[in-house]
Amino acid sequence: MTSRGHAAMNEIRVPIASDADAVTARQHGREAALRIGLSRSEATFVATAISEIARNVTTHAGSGEIVIHEVRDGERVGIVVIAHDEGPGIADVGAVLASDYASTAGLGLGLWGARQLMDDLEITSEPGKGTTVTMRKWSGMGVLGIDLDNHGS
Amino acid sequence: MTVSILKQREYLIASIQSNLTDTEVVALRDALIAEVIRHRARGVIVDVALLDVIDSFVSRSLTTVARTNRMRGARTVVVGIQPAVAAAMSQFGLQLDGIETALDLEAGLELLDA
């Protein structure tokens, strides 16, 4: 998916070294998503996906960073979340994303879930060289085709 | 403490007051199992209405609580899942195996009484 356009919102950088940082990152992600113009439901999807990839950072690499920024493509606005670490990396990225839910565990489950929740997700990784996960969610794509935001809480 | 656990008749009611770190989720999981044993409770209701995110870790922990409590003859009911959180869990494919759900605390108590 294209990521042309310029970021209008200031980039948010959250260092990830503990599970408390993961909570901070997902809160920033939710707030940024709402500010950019995503719905409350879409923001919840983003926050949940961030929770998963932040856990992967602390569990598999110890520490890293999550960067959040806005993306525009014509009329569309969206949010980009990038998680980067200098950990051991993933030998077979394709296998992680290709696996089905039942066979995933640990690292795979979090990435798999994040991909279901976001509009797209890509992984760049090499053994020994860390991992970068980049994922996007656009406004107006809806969630399950339902307007959940007008049904109370 | 971000979670309060109260005893009401033969049930325990755990209300989560804020979003939890994984460490706090583990503490909650262990407390829910230990308190059910200690009080010989027949059911536990976990109110998650204030949780903005229920991810794989929270789901797995709640499932562990339900599975363990079932061995003690106690039921586990999760109440108050926000609509957007329910949609996210569904899209993710997260399943609360062995867990009963209800709309709110009152409905949860009715479910346990039924």
pLDDT along chain A (153 residues), means of 10: 54 96 97 94 97 94 96 92 92 71 60 93 89 94 63 48
For residues B45 and B10, is the Cβ–Cβ distance under 8 A?
A: no
Query: Residue A98 and residue B38: Cα distance in Å, rounded?
Result: 45
CATH number of the domain at A9-140, please? 3.30.565.10
Domains of chain B in start order, with CATH, are 3-113 (3.30.750.24)
pTM for the predicted model, two decimal places:
0.90
The answer to whether the Cβ–Cβ distance between A144 and B91 falls below 8 Å is yes
pLDDT of residue A16: 98
Edge to edge, the sheet with strand A76-85 lists A12-16, A64-73, A76-85, A131-138, A120-125
Strand partners, B11: B8, B43
Interface test with B, best of A40, A44, A103, A112 (most B CBs within 10 A): A44
CA B56 to chain centre: 14
Kindly report the nearest CA distance between residue B23 and chain A, in angstroms: 7
Provide, for chain B, the percentages of residues in helix, strand and coil under a 3-state DSSP scheme, each rounded to the nearest 5.
45, 20, 30
Extended beta strands in B9-89, E state: 11-16, 43-47, 75-79
The answer to whether the Cβ–Cβ distance between B55 and A48 falls below 8 Å is yes
Q: What are phi and psi of B44, to 5 degrees?
A: -135, 135
Query: Residue A44 and residue A137: Cα distance in Å, rounded?
Result: 11
User: Where along chain A do its domains lie?
Assistant: 9-140
Pick B23's closest partner by Cβ from A19, A47, A113.
Answer: A19
For residue A47, the chain B residues in CB contact (below 8 A) are 52-53
For residues B79 and B46, is the Cβ–Cβ distance under 8 A?
A: yes
pLDDT of residue B56: 95
Name the stretches of chain B with pLDDT < 50.
none
- Residue-wise DSSP of chain A: ----S---SPPEEEEESSHHHHHHHHHHHHHHHHHHT--HHHHHHHHHHHHHHHHHIIIIIS-EEEEEEEEEETTEEEEEEEEEE-SS--S-HHHHHHS-GGG--THHHHHHHHHHHSSEEEEEE-TTS-EEEEEEEETTS-BTTB-GGGS--
